[in-house]
């Protein structure tokens, strides 16, 4: 009688008790000895040979296992349990591996079927090769705001619409539409977060995501036990499978390991290393975080290595908690800095460009000073500052400057026609 034994596909699909946890090795020699088998649990590589109805919770002694193997052998047309085991083992024989190099300075090459040793290539690329390996110009995920394949930090205090904006940009990316008048790269969207409740995130997605988004263009990893030090490899695999997605990481603190201290360099390096693994897949990452209270804006809270890592910042400033208006500061490291006045639509949950323009809050005036300050020319005049906020007249803007001085966000120097302004540090940094 012809034998119809197990196959790789049947065993891995669960037809013979579930997938193998590890490749088969020397355990088959042990399995041939009658009554020499120990108790068998679900992590034992022989476990898939058992009948499907045997649950993983059961522990089986040698006699029970042998009875199951014998019945499987009979139903498969084998002469004995040992023959069944041998046939199954052949499916999982590990491939022969070449001998390891004697040291890390040697590599193995195959020439004419023979392994020979050769010097390992030196690390690094020649300047011309390095430049030729990339595009001739900067590729943007968000036109003039977020560099493709880089890390961008999304700074904003509590309830400043960071998540709303992240989901909205993700929707535009997944559907190839512009965001706030800026071109957006056509790419899938992967949202990774432990923030807020699942119902809150679902409600926001229902409102923000346009109808007809293709399956697998938007993937949500929300409260799945993912952290930078736990199950992060699953996030990497998902990003690789999606093929260079836009990834929203919401927020730094929610994805950080237990006991994490954002002010310590060794702790921040854990997060940055995990994000580098992500961007190395071709993904573009946006990391939601809170701004430093000491910097006057534009700098993320915690250790300075984060600001050294990012290629740009999007900062959200909501001057009034009950209001619907906010300002978006777009600050790529190697690009033009801009500010947009936005207004939030509570019905659609969508951010739109505010026709009234940017509201010059004390924090934004301080940021404008940081951008305009030049050590050669010194303090910045009110006229130069007002040019950053064209929607405001001269008198209204001077009232805003007075408010910024009173809030100790900026400092006034001189008087009369010689009045000018600097940051509290006396300069632009």
Mark whether 177 and 270 lie in a shared domain. Answer: yes
Q: SS3 for 162?
A: helix
User: Among all chains, which residue has been given the structure tokens 């139903």?
Assistant: 75
Residue-wise pLDDT for 122-134, tens only, equals: 778 788 877 777 7
Select from 288, 374, 292, 371 the least CA-distant residue to 337: 371
Contacts of 151 (CB under 8 A, 6+ apart): 275, 279, 285, 286, 287, 309, 310, 311
- Within a domain: 50: yes
Residues 333 and 187 grouped into a single domain: yes
Residue 2 located in a structural domain: no
Residues 373, 281 share a domain: no
Is residue 199 situated within a structural domain? Answer: yes
Q: In sequence order, what are the residues at sequence separation of 6 or more whose Cβ sits closer than 8 angstroms to the Cβ of residue 261?
A: 267
Q: Which residue has the higher pLDDT, 54 or 379?
A: 379
Within a domain: residue 402?
yes
Q: Higher model confidence: residue 287 or residue 121? A: 287
For residues 348 and 391, membership in a common domain is answered with no
3-state helix, strand, coil in the chain (%, to 5): 30, 20, 45
**Burial letters 140-159, b for 16+ CB under 10 A, else e:** bbbbbbbbbbbbbbbbbeee
Q: Is residue 389 part of a domain?
A: yes
Structural domain boundaries, residue 80: 8-90
Residue 295 lies in a domain: yes
Considering the domain architecture, whether residues 31 and 157 belong to the same structural domain is answered as no
- Least confident residue range of 82-96, 106-120, 198-212, 241-255: 106-120
- 419 and 312 assigned to the same domain: no
CB 273 within 8 A of CB 236: no
CB atoms within 10 A of CB 220: 18
Which range, 53-57, 72-76, 88-92, 218-222, has the best average confidence (pLDDT)? 218-222
Q: What is the CATH number for 164?
A: 3.40.50.300
CATH number at residue 408: 1.10.10
Question: CA of 339: how far to CAs of 175, 181, 201, 364, 397, in Å?
Answer: 25, 13, 27, 9, 16
Indicate the residue among 308, 340, 358 that finishes a domain: 358
Place of tokens 């006699």: 63
pTM score > 0.85 for this model?
no
Question: In total, how many domains does the chain have?
Answer: 3
| HSE value, Cβ hemisphere, 13 Å, CA-based, for 255 | 24
Query: Do residue 70 and residue 174 come from a single domain?
Result: no
- Could you tell me the pLDDT band of residue 64, with boundaries at 50, 70 and 90? low
Q: How far apart are CA 254 and CA 221, in angstroms?
A: 13
Q: 79 lies in a domain? A: yes
Distance CA 404, CA 410 (A): 6
Q: Are 15 and 76 part of one and the same domain?
A: yes
* Pair 272, 391 in one domain: no
* Gyration radius of the chain over CA positions: 30
Mark whether 149 and 277 lie in a shared domain.
yes
The answer to whether residue 218 sits within a structural domain is yes
- Looking at the fold, whether 290 and 339 belong to one and the same domain comes out as yes
In sequence order, which residues have a C-beta less than 8 Å from that of residue 211 and are 6 or more positions away?
none
pLDDT value at position 336? 85
Listed residues 332, 358, 384: the one ending a domain: 358
Give me 315's structure tokens.
């900062």
Asked if 19 and 57 sit in the same domain, the reply is yes
């Amino acid at each position: 009688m012809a034998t119809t034994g197990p196959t790789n596909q049947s065993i891995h699909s669960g037809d013979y008790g579930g997938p193998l946890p590890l490749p088969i090795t020397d355990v088959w020699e042990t399995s041939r000895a009658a009554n020499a088998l120990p108790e068998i649990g679900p992590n034992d590589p022989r476990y898939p040979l058992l009948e499907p109805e045997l649950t993983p919770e059961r522990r089986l002694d040698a006699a029970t296992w042998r009875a199951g193997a014998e019945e499987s052998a009979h139903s498969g047309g084998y002469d004995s349990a040992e023959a069944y085991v041998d046939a199954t083992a052949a499916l999982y024989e590990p491939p022969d591996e070449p001998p390891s190099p004697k040291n890390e300075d040697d590599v193995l090459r195959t020439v004419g079927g023979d392994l020979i040793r050769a010097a390992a290539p030196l690390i690094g690329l020649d300047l011309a090769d390095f430049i030729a390996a990339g595009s001739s110009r900067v590729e943007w995920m968000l036109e003039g705001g977020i560099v493709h394949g880089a890390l961008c930090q999304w700074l904003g205090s509590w309830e400043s619409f960071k998540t709303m904006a992240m989901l909205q940009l993700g929707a535009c990316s997944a559907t190839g539409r512009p965001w706030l008048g800026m071109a957006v790269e056509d790419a899938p969207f992967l949202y990774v977060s432990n923030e807020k409740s699942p119902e809150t995130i679902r409600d926001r997605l229902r409102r923000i995501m346009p109808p007809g988004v293709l399956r697998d263009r938007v993937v949500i990893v929300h409260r799945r036990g993912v952290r930078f030090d736990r199950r992060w490899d699953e996030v990497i695999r998902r990003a690789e499978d999606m093929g260079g997605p836009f990834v929203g990481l919401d927020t730094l603190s929610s994805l950080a390991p237990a006991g994490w201290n954002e002010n310590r360099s060794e702790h921040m390096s854990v997060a940055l290393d995990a994000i580098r693994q992500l961007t190395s897949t071709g993904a573009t990452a946006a990391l939601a975080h809170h701004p430093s209270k000491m910097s006057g804006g534009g700098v993320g809270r915690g250790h300075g290595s984060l600001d050294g890592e990012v290629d740009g910042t999007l900062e959200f400033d909501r001057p009034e908690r009950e209001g619907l208006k906010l300002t978006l500061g777009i600050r790529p490291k190697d690009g033009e800095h801009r500010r947009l006045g936005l207004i939030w639509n509570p019905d659609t949950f969508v951010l739109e460009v505010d026709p009234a323009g940017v509201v010059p809050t004390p924090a934004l005036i301080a940021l404008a000073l940081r951008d305009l300050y030049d050590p050669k020319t010194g303090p910045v005049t009110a006229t130069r500052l007002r040019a950053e906020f064209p929607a405001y007249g001269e008198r209204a803007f001077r009232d805003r400057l007075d408010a910024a001085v009173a809030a100790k966000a900026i400092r006034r120097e001189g008087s009369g026609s010689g009045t000018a302004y600097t940051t509290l540090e006396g300069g632009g940094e």
